Amino acid sequence: MTATAPQTDRAPRAESPRAPNFLARVLLTVLGGALTLAAFGLWLVPVSGGMPMLFLMKLGISLVMLIAGMCCLVVTRGQRG
């Protein structure tokens, strides 16, 4: 027979990420909404000169703002379960 170490209980669980508290949820919701609206509102501002490079930069900035805004809004939803 071989000696084995006694089995202990399972390893302690790592704490699951919790939903942010109320103030953080409100701030993230406002920030997410503002970034999302700003991403679309950026296209309402006319570009003087109409250089194609400006449209590419505007597209990149609006996509970053849209993704960041959506991430803020998704974080505020909390855990479903």
Question: Side chain identity at 53, as an amino acid letter?
Answer: M
Q: Report pLDDT for 9.
A: 63
Q: Report pLDDT for 81.
A: 46
Long-range pairs, 23-32, Cβ under 8 A, ≥24: 25/76, 25/78, 28/72, 28/73, 28/75, 28/76, 29/72, 29/73, 29/76, 31/69, 31/72, 32/68, 32/69, 32/70, 32/71, 32/72, 32/73, 32/76
pTM beyond 0.85, yes or no: no
Q: Give backbone dihedrals phi and psi of 77, rounded to 5 degrees, phi first.
A: -70, -25
Rounded mean pLDDT for each run of 10 residues along the chain, 81 residues in total: 66 58 91 96 81 86 96 82 46
